[in-house]
Amino acid sequence: VTGLVITKLDGSAKGGFVLAVQERTGIPIKLIGQGEGIGDLTGFTPHVFAASLVP
Protein backbone atom coordinates (compact mmCIF):
# COMPACT_ATOMS: atom_id res chain seq x y z
CA VAL A 1 0.00 0.00 0.00
CA THR A 2 1.54 3.29 -1.11
CA GLY A 3 -1.24 5.69 -0.14
CA LEU A 4 -4.70 6.03 1.35
CA VAL A 5 -7.92 7.60 0.11
CA ILE A 6 -10.20 8.85 2.90
CA THR A 7 -13.82 9.59 1.99
CA LYS A 8 -16.98 10.86 3.69
CA LEU A 9 -15.29 13.84 5.38
CA ASP A 10 -17.95 16.35 4.29
CA GLY A 11 -15.89 19.20 5.74
CA SER A 12 -16.54 18.03 9.30
CA ALA A 13 -14.16 18.62 12.19
CA LYS A 14 -14.53 14.88 12.78
CA GLY A 15 -12.02 14.54 9.98
CA GLY A 16 -9.25 15.13 12.52
CA PHE A 17 -8.81 11.37 12.65
CA VAL A 18 -7.13 11.63 9.24
CA LEU A 19 -3.96 13.00 10.79
CA ALA A 20 -3.93 10.22 13.41
CA VAL A 21 -4.34 7.53 10.73
CA GLN A 22 -1.41 8.89 8.77
CA GLU A 23 0.77 9.15 11.88
CA ARG A 24 -0.09 5.66 13.16
CA THR A 25 0.22 3.79 9.86
CA GLY A 26 3.04 5.78 8.31
CA ILE A 27 1.15 5.52 5.01
CA PRO A 28 0.57 8.88 3.31
CA ILE A 29 -2.94 10.12 2.60
CA LYS A 30 -3.15 10.76 -1.15
CA LEU A 31 -6.76 11.91 -1.61
CA ILE A 32 -9.67 13.03 0.54
CA GLY A 33 -13.32 13.04 -0.44
CA GLN A 34 -15.60 15.76 0.84
CA GLY A 35 -18.68 15.04 -1.21
CA GLU A 36 -20.75 12.39 -2.93
CA GLY A 37 -19.01 11.80 -6.25
CA ILE A 38 -15.65 10.90 -7.72
CA GLY A 39 -15.23 14.54 -8.71
CA ASP A 40 -15.24 15.47 -5.02
CA LEU A 41 -11.87 13.81 -4.42
CA THR A 42 -9.04 16.28 -3.90
CA GLY A 43 -5.35 15.96 -3.21
CA PHE A 44 -4.48 15.89 0.48
CA THR A 45 -2.30 18.73 1.77
CA PRO A 46 -1.66 18.19 5.51
CA HIS A 47 -1.06 21.81 6.54
CA VAL A 48 -4.13 23.08 4.67
CA PHE A 49 -6.27 20.29 6.13
CA ALA A 50 -5.01 20.92 9.69
CA ALA A 51 -5.68 24.66 9.35
CA SER A 52 -9.28 23.90 8.36
CA LEU A 53 -9.81 22.00 11.63
CA VAL A 54 -8.88 24.99 13.81
CA PRO A 55 -11.43 27.83 13.69
| Tens of pLDDT, residues 26-53 | 999 999 887 788 898 989 888 888 787 7
Question: Residue type at 45?
Answer: T
- pLDDT of the residue at 27: 93
d(CA 24, CA 6): 15
d(CA 51, CA 42): 16
- pLDDT of the residue at 11: 56
- pLDDT of the residue at 31: 92
Give the residue with greater pLDDT, 2 vs 14: 2
pLDDT band of 3, cuts 50, 70, 90: very high
Question: Residue type at 42?
Answer: T
Task: Give bridge partners of residue 28 from the DSSP assignment.
Answer: none
Are 53 and 16 in contact, with CB atoms under 8 Å apart?
yes
Domains of the chain: total? 1
d(CA 32, CA 14): 13
For residue 20, give its domain range.
4-53
